[in-house]
Structure 1
Amino acid sequence: MDNFASVFIDWVERFGLDAALTQFRGTFPDDQIDEWVAEYERLVEGVKIGYPPKILSAPGLKDWYPGPLPHHKRWPAFRAALTRLSDDAMDKLDESTSRIVAHTYSPDTPKYLTKGLVVGYVQSGKTTSFTGVAAKAADIGYKLVIVLSGIHNGLRRQTQERLQTELVDTAGEGAWFPLTDETKDFYEPPATFAAHQGGDRTLLIIAKKQKDVLARLLNWLTKASKTGSLANVPVLVIDDEADQASVETAKINPQIRALLKLLTRGTYIGYTATPFANVLIDPSVPDDLYPETFILNLPEPAGYFGAERIFGRDALEGEYSGPTLDGYDMVREVPDSTVAKIRPVGKGAEVGFVPTVTKELGDALRYFVLATAARRHRGDIDHSTMLVHTGMKTAIHFAYQGPLQKFFKNLAVEVESGDANALRELKSLWDAETKRVPASLFPGLSPVSFDELVDYLPDVLERVKVVVDNFRSRDRLTYSGAEPEVAVAVGGNTLSRGLTLEGLIVSFFVRSANTYDTLLQMGRWFGFRGGYEDLPRIWMTKRLKSDFRHLATVEAEIRLDIARYEQQNLSPREVGVRIRTHPVLNVTAKMGAYRIAYASYGGRRVQTRYFRENDATWLHNNRKAAVELVTTAVAEGVQVDRPAEGTVILRDVDAEQVLDFLNAYNVHEDSPDLDPRLVTAYIGKENRRAQPSLLSWNVALMGEPIVDDEHAVDFGASIRLGTIERSLIEGTGGDRADIKTLMSKDHRVVDMDITPSEARKKSEGALVDLRNASVEHADTGLLLLYPIARDSKPDPANAATRVAMDAVEHVIGMALVFPGNAEDTVRNRYVQVDTSGVDTSEYDEISEALEVDQEPEMS
């Protein structure tokens, strides 16, 4: 694929096909663009993660919900109020919320309890989704909607305000009856539950997940249950941030379960962006909160900035691995050597701590002012926020307020006085940042020069304020004033879960975490950045950046698994969602009924991507292992083919020689799929099957024609090849040099009678089938060895996100292609819930009961 094709596909995946066509038409010939469109369609052939939303659902449930009907009033009113959404976004919200409602039990079913889970993205519009579900549920007869909204007052208040504005106020008098408001959480009302019933209205409660609040709610509903007034009343419970407090807690989890036990007709839907704890709940415990009815993926909305867009991610099996997976160049590194100056290290170190405004923190603060000024130049006068999150302790947060206020005061004086050095420093920073992330990457954005924004700096500096937001602070961050906020928010947990930071541009984030869910939820920078997509920046440590990239891969893999399971008509109780593990991070603190998952290498291709570029012994041993394999194979008389200059294939190499190579080859510890113990165990099992496989291997040496002696690698047996180029992802190197992608899709069949161009036109699945259908290759493994130039340079198309390799010697990359879809499995580094003890017979009864089609009563 040429560089321009990669750039075109990158645009399609980020902004949609129409935007890409608009951008490229007129610059390139139409027939060239048509070829790129066809290439993109081939690349995405197969399982797609998009609309309609992918779902795992219990067997027997029918899509009974017809969608909004003419006489419904809450959903149409809510829809009309969402003027901020485009028509396309609104249609997708309508479709996804209808699909959620359709996979609950119909409210006229005599007795039911739906338990579902909706998986969204951090800061991606989950509140809008569950508000739409609540509107549709009320329109079809639900008389009570309870929203369990996080564990902090700020999030509960923010949710209450949203639902009051978009749900209650829009639907007209008598449609909703709120029992909570912006200032007051749930307290038992003077009137009984029965007294609130009657007419068309639906009760609405937004309650914090706190034991005293839930105790009051339980007490009120228990009284209603004992009097019979709760019987047969359809009740919807929406659990926002469903992985927080709801799972495996001594108090909150039993309270939620007790609430659901009171309901004759109940629907419980959890919403979360970090579902790790939820999908590891023990499904064999009947009254726990495992989402046994459905698990639904909310696709990434258009214009959303998530972990993948910012940090990039690894390509998944069978997926195109183009530049879109590198992420934008928005992350700036905070050296480990400076962390102690901005976050006290050690027990009790926060006492008397005074933070230093290091170069990196100073750059972040200056850039925040510059970016806010650029937004003002573009006519955007909305809220503008910076997040400073360096630790959990409140003493640290308060320690920052004075130094940050002093920094902005001094900067304001310098700008007002026209200080040449200060202005030169600001201009240099702005020019460097706008070069790394040009506005031209985003449709509709125009670049802003320093000269254009400089006049806005005094006003921004006059308005900027430093707000400490934690559970001890009195001056909390709010956006309800008459004037737009320009605020630097310093805080911890209250800013790291659910609460939306309006207009967040800059994040200075060095707080560590040891679980996936905690780390992802801290990413307040995820969300929508309409009109300033080029401006967000994050300062963090190199390790945190790597962790977030891993989490982006985990997220994508979970969603892909759900999509694949849906195609196989599997239910949540039949299969556990796999979660890829990490060498250091824990998946979640609430591991529930997890077990080590197993996965087959059958039909897969795995490849090295990490190297120790400064470890001469490590690299030399890998080269030595390759030479010994080639020399031994040729000495034993294997067939040697040269299908193209720079490519050599050794055919019918004995499995024992391949195993010897794998045991000698050094694999980086961050490549669990290539752990030699796992791979060799799998090959050994295949060799011992009743109908053995992988006894014979083809070994492909994937080099280039030799251009000079310096860039040539001797494999022994008179085989000498030129090196290939594989540059590094920017910010990596040393002990973890990362090339991301080693092999191309067509390399999967390099030892077969098909040209590379023809192979690239086929989908990954088609290439698997092609290999399995071949008598010669159906049981034959393929090992590929790549001589990588020690000084590999970036391709010009990726120069912004890549750097040159600087290894002490040429690197030997390795990939493996396995035939078939082997039934035997090997241990792989995933966890998933154990569903082996789950009794699914009840679903047979449900399925039979629902065989008779019934039209639900619509109120």
Structure 2
Amino acid sequence: MTTTSSAVLLDVHTSALAGMGSLPRTFASWARLAAEVYPDADLSEELFRSHLLNGDEALTALWSRHLTAWDFVENPPWGGSTPARTDERRAVIYEHLGFGADVCKTLDQAVPVAKVPGATVITKKFTPWYTAERAAARSFYWTAYERKLREKGWSEAAIASLDQASRAVVERLTDPEQLTARQAKGLVVGYVQSGKTANFTGVAAKAIDAGYRLVIVLGGTLNLLRAQTQRRLDMELIGQENILRGAEVSDIDSLVGVDYVGDDEGWPDFVRHGARPSTLGAFDIERLTTRDNDYKSLAQGIRALEFEKRVPTQPLHDPANLHHAAARILVVKKNKSVLTKLVKDLKQIHGILGELPALIIDDESDQASVNTSDPKKWERGSTERTAINGLISKLLGLLPRAQYVGYTATPFANVFIDPGDDMDLFPSDFLISLPRPAGYMGVQDFHDLNSPVPADQRTYANSQEKAHVRGIYDSTGDRLQEAMDAFVLSGALKLYRADHGVSDAAFRHHTMLAHQSVRQDDHADLALRINTMWHQAGYSSTAGHERLAALWETDFGPVSAAQAGDLPSPSSYEELRPYVHAARQRIGSGGQPVIVVNGDTDRYFAQLDLDFDRTPNVWKILVGGTKLSRGFTVEGLTVTYYRRTTQQADTLMQMGRWFGFRPGYRDLVRLYIGREEPFGRDKSVDLYEAYEAVCRDEETFREQLAQYAELVDGKPQVTPVEIPPLVAQHLPWLKPSARNKMFNAELVEIRSPGRPIEPASYPLTGSVTKRNTEHWRPLLSALAPEPVPFNNPPDSSSPLSRTFTALTGTVAHGDLLSVLRKLEWDRPRYFDPHLTYLQQLDGTLARVDDWVLISPRLASGDRVDASVAGSIPLSLVRRSIQDGKSSFGRIASMEHRTAAQRLINEAAAGGSTLIGPRTGVALLYPVVEGRTPESVQAAVHNGVADPSKVVMAFTLIPPRSATSGDRRLVRFRAKNSRYEGEATVPSESAS
């Protein structure tokens, strides 16, 4: 056998994989072609395996890139019916490559399948044009961006995920070469501080490669935010050669007016194409805005917007012209004067605008862009628009080939836009929900949502709340001093880790955020208080070190051991002590540990020197309000002291500056947040609970999008116009968005085959509760007196089996419906969408024969049994409704719901001995509302429950067969100004 060097093997494999193009082919054939220049090369699978097993990094990286890309492709013609990112897809890839079992096994070990979720897409039907072949044929800027992401340390899975998510956007835009002008409008929903900029940079790269020649990015309402976006695009997409435009770095005179060179330490990291792209067979990008200058209305600006045609007799969008013309990019503020200048200049070159493929990317599209004028004040047939909304509308009017893509983490304002207003920004063509990226800390990482672990058994290892969340107060009072101590201690731990082999790139900035009010006077008071406390904290004194040592022993040490055992950690506080001194010096540098951030002008932010990109190290405590709640990324944020509240869910989420990526210090993140803080006149609000409620709202929204994204007979189940009814609300005082951003839409039906239906909005008025409870009397009589055991086997939440007992009975489907039809609800018609579905399960939609009733019994020590509406004794359950809420939280215990779901799943698979495939499960809970155990006793007299104090709550799980042939899960009725005067609009007319 001949020997082959690693370099030769890598060259052969690189050439072979490149020759295959975008689909896997028989590798041996392509390798032989590639090895013609190496006649003695060993192409055996044994040699390939040995290099992988011996850790050949370059070869592994090459195969990781290609295998991951194939893993992520959605519905490729060569993939059969295999879903992306699965073992089944990988097996098909190996089959096409023709590899033996040993090589496949070794590749699986070297490059495991990234089993991560993809983007969720709700879309109208569209004409596919952005094929893999077309994307590969013109990919100059995307390839450069992809290369930059690898240099930044992105994994192949993360790059492939971005590739697919950005492709999902671009393919739903209009073909830039299309003869007829058409606009598409879409919305991309990410998570707060989760990398949306990376997605729209990828979209811009692909769109420019495909032929879009004018890209307008609406980048925030302040120049600081606009400049951040400009720099990001300049660094990762546009590149050095396009910025220099022929200027020589060595020639100082030629650099006049060129940004970044000489005053930005990151300049060497900007993308380099090797030469002006136009000399490399591609095309240049001309910037009409720079880091320091927004769009200016100048003659030069007008000339810069003029496009030359290689073939003057053909329109600009003709391929003969389009792919030789330079692209223009503008990053502009959402500012009335700036956008007015742009609109004015575009009007002066109107002759070319009808031929110009343009892309408008609206960052934070629910801010300023949404029309918030009152429709009741509009004159008949005339729409009044707020300033920014009106100017964006004018841009769309001037650019008939413009595509509009909004980006936001809080989508509710956007999906409540009137879809009947053609010149508004409703995402009528597509809505894409991006997957939660790896390494991201979001709401879920600070809450124990649906945790099966009992509260008294939660630890730093199994509870996100215990690990990261602290109250504002404890038994000694306000914990602001403790939050500051945590900031110093976490800074010391970062320095310790940087000194013990952890890359210090993520530790460049280290910040704390104190956020409690919108009033500037309050900010000044809080900043003065923190400054005073800092200078009195005695971080170099014995008392100060004792305080930090105690915090290390009781908090940071145990949390880091439980959450980050793979990171270096000091064995004692004494080992950490030298780093405390260094952290204190960094934070207190210049004698000023605190920066107040509450201005609303560009000049104000310029004087703060808070540009995280250009400032080497920011180790400070930031105090502020509204300006810290939207778009402003606080880099290195580790400790947050948070008391501010709001009555809008989207505003509340945008205040979550502690969300984001925390590489190397995730375990050090602490959130000090208000619990039961004063709110309003007679109310109190738990801010932590409010965030949990918003999290449930948003996750419900995303889950339903994913559920309805599946095509049925090649057609969408829902189109974007039908999205508003999916918006949930878990706290009545916390609206999804401001009232002036919402429109009315009604959900008619929710079908839930095999999925729980758990209403929570029960009326608590005594007379209504009594009537509702009495309605259940005939069904409760079906419960047998002997309890039945249920068992949940070990799973990821517990290594032990869990058991409970329950009273059971069986009732006919019609008998259950008879009760459900009579029930009254706290909100009229609240249960109607579910009832519409359940009423069809008598054979019209899909037959359900009967329902198993399960009334769980509580543990004997806690149980209060009582007869309810003449029933045998049932276990009463206590649930509380906190102030400001009109509904319970979760009714069913996770253990009970798990057991019920298992019955349904086993019946569907034909493996249940307890129920049939056409039997549903109903969990019944006689609930007494109250905050103390005594409230349950108070509802019982002589073993009989007072029906006016007992809510018969329930969770229903229909059988999985309870669906129709069309497999649709929702039906809608929505108001739409296009159909003004009609009582209802069928969902079909919306598409």
Q: Same fold (TM over 0.5)?
A: yes
Following superposition, the deviation at residue 300 of structure 1 comes to: 0.7
Does residue 1:141 correspond to 2:211, yes or no?
A: yes
The answer to whether structure 1 residue 378 and structure 2 residue 529 are counterparts is no
Q: Say whether 1:416 aligns with 2:540.
A: yes
Q: Hey, what does 1:53 align to over in structure 2?
A: 119
Query: 2:251 matched to which residue of 1?
Result: none
Distance (Å, rounded) in 2 between the aligned partners of 1:64 and 1:93:
16
Which residue among 745, 757, 760 is the counterpart of 1:595? 745
For 1:27-66, list aligned pairs within 5 A.
51-66=117-132
How far did 1:564 drift?
2.5
1:288 corresponds in structure 2 to 424
* 1:477 corresponding residue in structure 2: 610
2:327 maps to amino acid? T
Written as runs of structure 1 = structure 2, the 5 A alignment for 1:170-249 is 170=271, 172=273, 173=276, 175-191=284-300, 192-193=302-303, 196-198=306-308, 200-225=325-350, 228-249=351-372
Distance in 1, Cα, partners of 2:829 & 2:482: 40
Q: Which residue of 2 aligns with 1:364?
A: 483
Shift of 1:544: 1.4
Select which of 310, 327, 334 maps to 2:472: 334
Between the aligned partners of 1:482 and 1:135, the Cα distance in structure 2 is: 28
Residue 197 of structure 2 corresponds to residue 127 of structure 1: yes
Q: 1:536 to 1:187 in 2, by over 3 A?
A: same
- In the superposition, relative to structure 1, how do residues 386 and 767 fare at CA in structure 2: closer, same or farther (>3 Å)? farther
Give per-residue Cα distances to partners, 1:8-38, cap 9 Å, x unaligned.
Answer: xxxxxxxx999xxxxxxxxxxxxxxxxxxxx
**SS at 1:69's partner residue?**
helix
Q: Distance in 1 between matches of 2:547 and 2:115?
A: 45
Choose the corresponding residue for 2:172, options 84, 103, 108.
Answer: 103
Q: Tell me what 2:625 maps to.
A: 492
1:147 counterpart SS class = strand
Q: Residue 656 of structure 2 aligns to a residue in which SS?
A: coil
From 847, 850, 865, the counterpart of 1:713: 865
Alignment partner of 1:572 out of 719, 728, 738: 719
The more displaced of 589-598 and 291-300 is 589-598
Unmatched 5+ stretches in structure 2: 1-84, 88-113, 240-270, 278-283, 309-323, 373-385, 453-457, 499-503, 588-592, 676-685, 791-804, 938-949, 980-984
Cα contact 1:389–1:492 (8 A) shared by 2: yes
Alignment partner of 1:699 is 2:853:
yes
Aligned residue in 2 for 1:584:
733
Residues 1:605 and 2:759 aligned together: no
Deviation at 1:273, TM superposition (A): 0.7
- Give how far 1:587 is off: 1.5
Note if contact 1:387-1:506 (Cα within 8 Å) is conserved in structure 2.
yes
Kindly indicate whether the alpha-carbon contact (under 8 Å) linking 1:257 and 1:288 is maintained by their aligned counterparts in 2. Answer: yes
Match of 2:900 among 740, 744, 748: 748
TM-score normalised to the size of structure 2?
0.63
Residue by residue over 1:593-638, the C-alpha shift from the partner in whole angstroms, topping out at 9 and shown as x without a partner, is: 32243444764534488999xx9x99xx999998x89987687x87
Deviations 1:209-237 (A, max 9, x none): 01000001101111111xx1333121111
Distance, in Å, in 2 between the alignment partners of 1:740 and 1:76 is 51
Q: Distance in 1 between matches of 2:664 and 2:907?
A: 38
Aligned pairs, number: 725
CA separation of 1:237 and 1:383: change in aligned 2, threshold 3 A: same
Corresponding residue for 1:155? 225
Is the Cα contact below 8 Å between 1:510 and 1:540 reproduced in 2?
A: yes
C-alpha contact 1:601 1:818 (8 A) present in aligned 2: no
1:43 is matched with none
Aligned partner of 1:560 in structure 2 is: 703
Structure 1 residues 567 and 190 mapped into 2: Cα distance closer, same or farther (>3 Å)?
same
List runs of 5+ in structure 1 lacking aligned partners.
1-15, 19-47, 317-321, 339-356, 750-755, 792-803, 845-859
Given that residues 785 and 812 in structure 1 are in contact (C-alpha distance below 8 angstroms), is that contact kept between their aligned partners in structure 2?
no
Q: Deviations over 1:420-441 (max 9, x none)?
A: xx32222222333236744433
SS of the counterpart of 1:203? strand
Cα gap change, 1:699 to 1:247, in 2 (>3 Å): same
Query: Aligned in 2, Cα 1:692/1:460: closer, same or farther, shift over 3 Å?
Result: closer
Among 506, 526, 532, the residue aligned to 2:665: 532
**Greater relative contact order structure (CA < 8 Å, 6+ sep):** 1
2:816 pairs with 1:651? no
Larger radius of gyration: 2
Which range is displaced more, 199-208 or 568-577? 568-577
Deviates more, 1:447-456 or 1:200-209: 447-456
1:507 and 2:640 matched? yes
3-state DSSP of counterpart to 2:184 = strand
Aligned to 2:57: none
Match of 1:164 among 227, 230, 234: 234
Q: How does 1:385-424 map to 2 (within 5 A)?
A: 385-411=511-537, 414-419=538-543, 422-424=544-546
Partner of 1:800: none
Distance 2:86 2:842 in 1: 49
8 A contact 1:605–1:748 mirrored in 2: no
The answer to whether the Cα contact below 8 Å between 2:357 and 2:401 also exists between their aligned partners in 1 is yes
For 2:405, the equivalent position in structure 1 comes to: 269
The one-letter code matched in structure 2 to 1:521 is Q
Change (3 A) 1:762 1:391: farther
C-alpha separation in 1, matches of 2:477 and 2:334:
39
SS at the partner of 1:429? helix
- Classify 1:527/1:834 alpha carbon distance in 2 versus 1 (closer, same or farther; 3 Å): farther
Question: How far apart, in 2, do the equivalents of 1:284 and 1:73 lie?
Answer: 39
Tell me, yes or no, if the aligned pair for 2:194 and 2:437 is still in contact at 8 Å.
yes
1:534-589 deviation line (CA, Å, top 9, x unaligned)? 11111222321111111111221222222223213325355224100231112212
Matched residue type, 1:133: V
Secondary structure of 1:416's counterpart equals: coil
Distance 1:664 1:107 in 2: 55
Mapping 1:789-804, distance limit 5 Å: none
In structure 2, do the counterparts of structure 1 residues 574 and 231 end up closer, same or farther at CA, with 3 Å as the change threshold?
A: closer
Distance in 2, Cα, partners of 1:475 & 1:808: 55
CA distance in 2, matches of 1:759, 1:156: 53
Alpha carbons of 1:693 and 1:843: their partners in 2 closer, same or farther (altered >3 Å)? closer
Indicate the residue corresponding to 2:687 in structure 1: 544
Q: 3-state SS of the aligned residue for 2:723?
A: coil
How far apart are the structure 2 equivalents of 1:445 and 1:729? 42
CA contact (8 A) 1:73 1:171 kept: no
Residue range with higher mean Cα deviation, 695-704 or 180-189: 695-704
Q: State the AA in 2 paired with 1:185.
A: D
Q: CA deviation at 1:306?
A: 1.1
Structure 1 residues 835 and 456: alpha-carbon distance in aligned structure 2, compared to 1, 3 A threshold: farther
Corresponding residue SS for 1:506: strand
SS in 1 for 2:631: coil
Does the Cα contact within 8 Å between 2:846 and 2:964 map onto a contact in 1?
no
Amino acid at match of 2:222: H
Separation (CA, whole Å) in 2 of partners of 1:507 and 1:662: 49
Match of 2:547 in 1: 425
Tell me the SS of whatever aligns to 1:277. Answer: helix
Deviations 1:679-700 (A, max 9, x none): 9977997799999999976532
